[in-house]
Structure formats: C-alpha cells, structure tokens
C-alpha cells in the first residue's frame, strides 16, 4: 500500500517537474542565479489602483502591487475577498472595474502569451473533452491556431493523459484534471490554490518539488492559498488582503533563508511570520465564520 502510494507520488512529482521544466525562459547561468537577488529584479507585473465590482458588489478596491521577474508572491485573505478574481484580472480573463494592470509595461486587456493560470477547480470546461480543454488553454496562452493541433497531443502525453483525449473532466480523477489544467507553457504562473485538492502528505511533497524546480527556473509566480503555512513557506513575500471591499492590508517580506526545505518549517522566522499573518487574519476569519454560522 505504502509502495503504491510512493510510486503515485513519484509519478506526480515527475510530471510536475516535466511540466515546469517546459517554462520558456531565458537560459539561466548558474553563477547569475547564485549572485542575483530576486529582490533586485525589475517589476514584471504592476497592479495600479485596481478595483473590481460585480454589479453592486465591490469585491476589492485600490489594490497596488508589483510582482518582480523572479519571485514567488503568495496571497492570503478570507474566503470571498477576491483572490481568484484578482488572478483572473491579472490573467486578462476578466476586465477590472477601476485601475489597470501592466505586464512588461503593456496594459492587460486580454489573455496574453506566457501568462498561465492553474485554477482552484482546475479551470476545465465540463462540456469540453481533455483534447478540447488543452487546445483552448493553448489558444488562451496565445499559441497560433495553425500549430495548436500539432501541440495538443504533445502536451496531453507530457502530462500523462495520453489515451484520455476524448474523456470529459467528470470522467477523470482530481489529479488527472489538475494535470490537464497544467498543460500550458507559462512564464508567469498564476496559481489558485493548486494543492488544495490533494492530501496533506502529497501536498508537502509537491510544495518542495515546486520550490526546487522554481529554484532552477525562476519566474514570476503568484500563488493564492488558504493555508498560512503554505503562504509563508512558498512566498518571498506574502500579500494579506483584508476588509470589505478588500484591499492590501500588508505585504510581508518573508526573508527566510533559501533554498526552502523541511528545515524551514522549524526556523524561528517561519513561526514569527506565520503567527503575524495568523493574528492579522484572525478577526476576519472569525467574522466570516460567524457569518456562515448565522
């Protein structure tokens, strides 16, 4: 049983590794990596005075953030504060109501090449097959129509879904659905609770695997999570959203030594930041729970 579990986890890690190794970035010279401080990198994404309304509901307002070329920024905030909405605005899938987002200085008005989103619920259209979902993802990622048909089988095979091209999402396991959602070529990776659906042990393995791969091919990664531990472990900076409508309450520079590993979890700075984020969010979480109970 344990052997079987280990082999499943190893397979999952290998696939995650393969997928992320595909991320097309400038070749990285190891000596550059050793000397480059991510904090010195130029801003890649700028979010300026961003606000979003759904009809009468003002979800967030006046959000100002910058994301650098090589950093992982994690975002935490109470359920419903607009984390997914913010990622969709950055992705260009959804227009904002106020303000603007710039990626590489260009205002985002539609999905752009190289910016990929891993959705909370895998982002698969239930009425599309695996083939059609991957093709649509490639289209959103800006891949030319004429080459999509050639690329789909390659990506489907790469993420281990060969033979499932004609299956619909409901016919796939959760892990398979997520792999299908990952079959894109990102240079900016927007992750919406990517590990929420896996068990605790697999989650921990995938967190470290993702960090290790990121260390080899750093990129701009914005990572939304409900887990404060995950936010502190994965993030160079942690953004705390709070309030109704929400806005950025705090951006915490995590300043934990890298590379992050299991030992990081025992580092005094880890507990310090975790407790800080926890107490910051406590009131909001309590208020949200109270509302659910009512």
Question: What does the binding site for ligand ATP look like in residue numbers (CB under 6 A)?
Answer: 54, 59, 77, 79-85, 120
CB 237 within 8 A of CB 76: no
The CB-of-54 to ligand ATP minimum distance in angstroms stands at 3
Peptide bond into 245 cis (omega under 30): yes
The radius of gyration of the chain's CA atoms, rounded to the nearest angstrom, is: 19
Nearer of residues 57 and 147 to ligand ATP, judged by Cβ: 57
What is the token pair recorded at 136?
Answer: 């649509």
x-marked contacts with Mg ion along 200-229 as a string, rule CB under 5 A:
------------------------------
Residue among 225, 194, 227, 207 at smallest CA distance from 119: 194
Other residues' Cβ atoms within 10 Å of the Cβ of residue 14: 12
CA distances from 52 to 81, 192, 234, 239, 245 (A): 11, 18, 27, 18, 9
The CB-of-65 to ligand ATP minimum distance in angstroms stands at 15
Among 84, 177, 207, 220, binds Mg ion (CB under 5 A): 84
The CB-of-241 to ligand ATP minimum distance in angstroms stands at 8
Nearer of residues 68 and 83 to ligand ATP, judged by Cβ: 83
Which of the choices Mg ion, ligand ATP, none does residue 81 contact, using the CB cut-off of 5 to 8 A by kind?
A: ligand ATP
The CB-of-203 to Mg ion minimum distance in angstroms stands at 17
The number of CA neighbours under 13 Å toward the Cβ of 226 is: 12
Which of the choices Mg ion, ligand ATP, none does residue 160 contact, using the CB cut-off of 5 to 8 A by kind?
A: none
Should residue 74 be labelled a site residue for Mg ion when binding is judged by CB under 5 A? Answer: no
Which of the choices ligand ATP, Mg ion, none does residue 82 contact, using the CB cut-off of 5 to 8 A by kind?
A: ligand ATP
What is the token pair recorded at 203?
Answer: 């989650």
Q: Which residue has 């009425």 as its token pair?
A: 127
Residue among 253, 208, 247, 204 at smallest CA distance from 232: 253
The CB-of-84 to ligand ATP minimum distance in angstroms stands at 3
111-130: contacts with Mg ion (CB under 5 A): 120
Which of the choices Mg ion, ligand ATP, none does residue 79 contact, using the CB cut-off of 5 to 8 A by kind?
A: ligand ATP
Q: Which residue has 């990776």 as its token pair?
A: 189
């Amino acid at each position: 049983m344990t052997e079987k579990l280990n082999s499943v986890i190893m397979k999952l890690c290998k696939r995650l590794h393969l997928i992320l190794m595909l991320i097309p970035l400038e070749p990285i010279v190891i000596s550059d990596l050793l000397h480059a401080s991510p904090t010195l990198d130029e801003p890649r994404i700028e979010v300026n005075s961003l606000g979003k309304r759904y009809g009468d509901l003002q979800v967030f307002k006046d959000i100002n953030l910058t994301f650098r070329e090589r950093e992982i920024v994690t975002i935490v905030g109470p359920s419903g504060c607009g984390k997914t909405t913010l990622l969709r605005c950055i992705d260009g899938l959804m227009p904002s109501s106020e303000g603007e987002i710039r990626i590489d200085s260009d205002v985002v008005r539609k999905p752009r090449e190289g910016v990929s989103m891993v959705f909370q619920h895998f982002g698969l259209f239930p009425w599309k097959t695996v083939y059609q979902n991957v093709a649509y993802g490639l289209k959103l990622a800006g891949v030319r129509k004429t080459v999509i048909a050639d690329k789909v089988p390659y990506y489907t095979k790469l993420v281990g879904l060969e033979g499932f091209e004609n299956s619909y999402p409901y016919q796939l396991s959760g892990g398979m659905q997520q792999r299908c959602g990952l079959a894109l070529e990102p240079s900016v990776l927007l992750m919406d609770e990517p590990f929420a659906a896996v068990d605790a042990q697999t989650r921990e393995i995938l967190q470290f695997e993702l960090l290790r791969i990121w260390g080899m091919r750093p990129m701009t990664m914005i990572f939304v999570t409900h887990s404060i531990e995950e936010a502190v472990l994965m993030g160079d900076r942690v953004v705390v959203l709070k309030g109704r409508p929400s806005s950025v309450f705090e951006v915490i520079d995590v300043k934990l030594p890298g590379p992050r590993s299991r030992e990081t979890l025992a580092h005094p700075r880890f507990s310090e930041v975790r407790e800080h984020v926890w107490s910051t969010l406590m009131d909001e979480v309590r208020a949200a729970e109270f509302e659910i109970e009512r």
